[in-house]
Amino acid sequence: MKRTLDLGCGSNKRAGTIGADITQGSAADVIVNLEQFFYPFKDNAFDHIVFSHVIEHLTDIPRVMEEIWRISSPNACLGGATPHFSSSGSYSDPTHRHHLSCRTFDYLSEPFPDPPGKLRRFLNIFYNPGILEHRPKVAEKFQKIEVRLTFNHVFRRLGIEWLANIYPELYESFFAFIIPARDIVFRLKVIK
């Protein structure tokens, strides 16, 4: 039987999940301060972890990822969303400690398992942000499955969401504050 943890569920716990949140009176089944380690769950306890609009609130993201890795079963999926740094939603909430980019997930996970498409390889000729150095050790414990940008419906209909997701690093470097994204949606696989 697959077990799903909705980490930081607030009052919107997903059906069929175990909810965990710091807020008393939320929909949480378990009250947990995600800034205090260790979480009250056994090793390898969950096959899927929902982590939506939580990561930006936490102080030590690599340490939280280590703890998520501990409570996840082999090949578990960690999925969620966070405001993109260009979104007004990223800055409007004073409890946000971090303003994240797609590249943030390059520091927290291994690269995509498949080689990039032809258009991306072509664009690499003109713009390549370089190799990441000093990644935390936790990056070796997660495999990037999906990291994509979302936009409001107008930009989506104009095809900007599609274009930005071909080469997010290029979009973030040159166009993010001209045409702001809304969220980053991510899915990572646990490597054990």
CATH at 179: 3.40.50.150
Residue recorded with tokens 């306890």: 45
Q: Do residues 144 and 51 make contact, with C-beta atoms less than 8 angstroms apart?
A: no
Number of domains making up the chain: 1
| Residues of the domain holding 8 | 4-190
Return the pLDDT at 1: 66
d(CA 49, CA 188) in angstroms, rounded, equals 10
Return the pLDDT at 182: 98
Picking from 164, 167, 160, the residue whose alpha carbon sits closest to that of residue 118 is 167
Give the rounded percent of residues in the chain with a pLDDT score beyond 70: 97
pTM value is 0.91
Return the pLDDT at 112: 79
**pLDDT tens digits for 84-114?**
999 999 999 999 999 999 999 999 999 877 6
d(CA 159, CA 83) in angstroms, rounded, equals 20
Return the pLDDT at 153: 96
**pLDDT tens digits for 147-172?**
999 999 999 999 999 999 999 999 99
**pLDDT tens digits for 14-68?**
999 999 999 988 999 999 999 999 999 999 999 999 999 999 999 999 999 999 9
Please give the backbone phi and psi of residue 126, each rounded to the nearest 5 degrees, phi first: -95, -30
